[in-house]
Amino acid sequence: MEKVHPADVHSGVAIAGAAGPALEMVRLFQLQLEHYEKVEGQELSLEGKANQLSQMVRGNFAMALQGLIVVPLFAGYDLRRDRGRIYTYDPTGGRYEETDFHADGSGGRDARTTIKLGFKDDLSRGEGVELCVRALWQAADEDSATGGPDAVRGIYPTVATITKDGFQRVHEAEVARAFERVIATLSVAEVHREEDEP
């Protein structure tokens, strides 16, 4: 199932929680942003997009009380401030801006720890992709509900970048190579750990 979606040209949304309501929310969000742009002749501000999504999460609160919780992660490139921004939400529609990075879902804590250890302000695109892949690998290793790579069947998680040039999916072949490098690095570290044991 696709968990990372473009919201419009300069933003994207990742979903965690109940799949059906989450996908419906993403499609409606995309439609609303497209409608606004056609009517107004310009993109809604990133802050406005984040507020719009907050209202949609709040609108799902009755379903959340029945266990169908949707918790999106919204990110985009703010053309006015010339920088990327990340927003998280709680099931009541509360919106919070994160500083540098975030991860949600059942494996979010493990992914955030991995990102925290490798994050720096001047990461290149390739380094950023590899850090995301490493975080997904660690989260999937610790949490059975987090989907990791399946190299045998050639199935890899969706990775995307958002810059001033817009939302762009990272090609699956690049994601596969990043996973191969992460696995090779972890295998070498495991060998050294075993050699150091008495």
pLDDT computed for residue 75 by the predictor:
97
Question: What domains are defined for the chain?
Answer: 1-99 (3.60.20.10), 106-198 (3.60.20.10)
**Is the sign of the CA dihedral 158, 28, 24, 16 positive or negative?**
positive
pLDDT computed for residue 111 by the predictor:
93
pLDDT in tens, 48-97: 999 999 999 999 999 999 999 999 999 999 999 999 999 999 999 999 99
pLDDT in tens, 87-127: 999 999 999 999 899 998 889 999 999 999 999 989 999 99
* pTM for this predicted structure: 0.89
Angle between helices 19-40 and 46-59 (to 10 degrees): 140
Q: What is the 3-state secondary structure (H, E, C) of the chain?
A: CCCEEEEECCEEEEEEECHHHHHHHHHHHHHHHHHHHHHHCCCCCHHHHHHHHHHHHHHCHHHHHCCCCEEEEEEEEECCCCEEEEEEECCCCCEEEECCCCCCCCCHHHHHHHHHHHCCCCCCHHHHHHHHHHHHHHHHHHCCCCCCCECCCCECCCCEEEECCEEEECCHHHHHHHHHHHHHHHHHHHHHHHHHCC
pLDDT computed for residue 35 by the predictor:
97
